[in-house]
Structure 1
Amino acid sequence: MSDSPIKVGLASFGMSGRIFHAPFIQRSPNFELQLILERTKSNSKAFYPHATIVRSIEELITHKEVPLIVINGPTYLHFEMAKAALAAGKHVVLEKPMTATAKEGKALLALAKQQGLLLAVYHNKRCEGGFKTVHKLLASQRLGALKECTLAVHRFRPELGPKAWKEDPYPGAGILYDIGSHLIDQVLVLFGWPLDLEADLQIQRVNGKVIDYFKITFFYKDFKATLVSDMLTQERRPTISLLGTKGSFVKYGQDPQESRLAEHPIPWEGIGEDLEENYGVLTLYAANTTERIKTETGGYDQFYTNVYDVLKGNAPLLISPAQALDVIKIIEWAMQSGITRP
């Protein structure tokens, strides 16, 4: 590739495209947002007037001057759209979850390898401050031997959302694929493949059709990790909880980047800095002391910086497609072994 900015085509301008992808592509000097797929609307024009709106995936992936395509539509379309882009000779950034099935994911990995193309999956919560803080704290061994880890995302959305592909039983729909894919990825990065797991999967909301609650416990040799998410929690609950032989760590609050990216204009100053009231508390048993732990600064921009470095041959992928495939394998394992209550 030349040293000029890499031209990018974006496959959707819904929330994902507007908040998580387009701003970082546009802000980076290494990329140029050239094409945006909007089948009937032209909402992107107000934000990116220089970009050309196209009306079909075929038009998006056949543009000769655009080598990188971001596939960020509904999960059940990920496989076919990414497959078409790879077959057309395009590098692909694929929104998480990678695919609805592991079989589809394996097929994409094989095609990308065959074509000699990049396939990067957008597990952006790897770039959040809370996850970075956990990673740093565990490496410090201040907690001693870890015995329990709980990662949670609680929301209060008792009414069904307007997006049919998220609320109707399409392949890959439901909170297990949405939030679950992020939390599963984090646990696999921190601790590796579990020896066993248990899953409690539920449909809790009135008239719900897809899983909107999960509790998955990963069992390792000497400890366990639990992932929880739901749509019916109003009260403030911990999002990170670590329990070790020497101490414990508890943190509240979600990463602030998403809410700040939803604003317009985007307040880039301090966008990845956590609120002080959400800093975690470390308790050390022997000293009987507590300590406020400043949250590490998050940065979703690190994902696209890494993509550029990979395309230039200067770095390995931050999130390999094989790791993204493992997430789908865990989801399928949980679906097969879990208790799903109507």
Structure 2
Amino acid sequence: MSKVIKTGICSFGMSGQIFHAPFIHVNPNFEFTAVVERSKHLAAEKYPGVKVYASVDDMVLDPSLDLIVVNTPNYTHYDYAKTALEAGKHVIVEKPFTVHNQEAQELIELAASKGLLLSVYHNRRFDSDYKVVKKVVESGVLGDVLEFEVHYDRFKEELSYKKHKESSLPGTGALYDLGSHLIDQALTIFGMPRKLWADIRIIRKDSLVDDYFELVLYYDFLRVRLKSSYLVREALPAYQAHGRIGSFIKSKSDIQEAQLQRGLMPDSPDWGAEAPHEWGLLHTTIDGKTVKEFVPGGSGNYMDYYNGIYEAIANGAPNPVTPQDGANVVKIIEAAFESSNSGKVVPVI
């Protein structure tokens, strides 16, 4: 493999333009080498020299490419990731990893048999808000955590112009889209639950896909609630963690997506830095004294994911997001639909 990881991106919609190309472009360990664009040539305009292919099948045959980013509609993830792996390429798959856990396991086995890196782009692990929440929870200052609640709400009655997101296709809807983030964040801190309950609904007038969900993950003493609605005008705090001796309340405040949409690159000054008015509130007892203070939020950086990918490919370091991590998220989603359809609590492990 070349010293610089030559990378092809399977689509140049929002995901390619915002969440992948900028990080590949400014990272000296990567080269944005190729992209699939069937009609427009937006990538070549912004990144002169990038090779443009008409199809994923054509691009993965490029012998110069080391890594393929599969960031196409969810229902295509399995097929395109399999095609790239069979062509001998390392693969990053956008979340959700696949539509079904069985597909995820097949890809895991295929990558292992070929000695290739397979990773899932759960970038929200690298949000400033989540990073500080995880740090506080794992520090023990709340005592045993008994309740953990995460919201990812929007206020948008109208349907998306992206037809693949609003069509009744496998892997569409809020749970696969936004829920993947919340589930991965919960599992990264607490691991897999024993069982779960879910309520998944369609609440917008003309929607064909779920746009509301509530999940309750059951652990021994802990309950984790994950919730999203497209019709929340006044949002609650994004994160609430309550333990035996304290609570931590935090807004959703990571600014990376907004910075990227404004055209900033990830090497810009103060990248991902959280504003002080977004800091989370800690109320607990430390060394016998009551503490009620705001905790600095720090900075988020999705580049940490790509740095981890480079180290994993080049130096055998741990995969920053393993494919089994991605498969576990899909397993939770499938169990959630089973629970919502049956009205019952269902086992997970």
**8 Å CA contact retained: 1:282, 1:292:** yes
Q: Report the CA distance shift for 1:177/1:300 in structure 2 as closer, same or farther (over 3 A).
A: same
Deviations 1:72-129 (A, max 9, x none): 0100111111111111111111111001111111111111111111111100011111
Q: Which runs of 5+ in 2 are unaligned?
A: 344-349
| Partner in structure 2 of residue 282 of structure 1 | 282
In structure 2, distance between residues paired with 1:223 and 1:130: 21
Q: Does 1:311 align with 2:310?
A: no
Give 3-state SS (helix, strand or coil) of 2:242's partner: strand
**8 Å CA contact retained: 2:133, 2:250:** no
What is the one-letter code of the residue matched to 1:232? L
In structure 2, distance between residues paired with 1:146 and 1:109: 33
| Partner in structure 2 of residue 10 of structure 1 | 9
Identity of aligned residues (%): 40
| Partner in structure 1 of residue 338 of structure 2 | 336
| Partner in structure 2 of residue 216 of structure 1 | 215
What is the number of residues matched between the two proteins?
Answer: 340
**8 Å CA contact retained: 1:127, 1:302:** yes
**8 Å CA contact retained: 1:236, 1:252:** no
Give 3-state SS (helix, strand or coil) of 2:238's partner: strand
Shift of the alpha carbon at 1:297?
A: 1.7
In structure 1, distance between residues paired with 2:275 and 2:205: 34
Normalising by structure 2, we get a TM-score of 0.94
Q: Which runs of 5+ in 1 are unaligned?
A: none
Shift of the alpha carbon at 1:236?
A: 3.4
Residue pairs, 1:64-143, within 5 angstroms: 64-143=63-142
Query: Which stretch of structure 1 is more off in the superposition, 332-341 or 150-159?
Result: 332-341
Shift of the alpha carbon at 1:253?
A: 2.7
Shift of the alpha carbon at 1:340?
A: 8.8
**8 Å CA contact retained: 2:272, 2:299:** yes
| Partner in structure 1 of residue 295 of structure 2 | 293
Deviations 1:246-282 (A, max 9, x none): 1111111331111111112447222211122111001
Normalising by structure 1, we get a TM-score of 0.96
| Partner in structure 2 of residue 269 of structure 1 | 269
Shift of the alpha carbon at 1:46?
A: 2.3
| Partner in structure 2 of residue 231 of structure 1 | 230
| Partner in structure 2 of residue 182 of structure 1 | 181
**8 Å CA contact retained: 1:75, 1:171:** yes
**8 Å CA contact retained: 2:137, 2:241:** no
What is the one-letter code of the residue matched to 1:94? V
Deviations 1:22-45 (A, max 9, x none): 000000000111101001111112
Shift of the alpha carbon at 1:284?
A: 2.0
| Partner in structure 2 of residue 199 of structure 1 | 198
RMSD: 1.5
Shift of the alpha carbon at 1:313?
A: 2.4
| Partner in structure 2 of residue 321 of structure 1 | 323
What is the one-letter code of the residue matched to 1:301? M
**8 Å CA contact retained: 2:128, 2:253:** no
Shift of the alpha carbon at 1:314?
A: 3.8
In structure 2, distance between residues paired with 1:314 and 1:110: 18
Give 3-state SS (helix, strand or coil) of 2:196's partner: strand
What is the one-letter code of the residue matched to 1:35? A
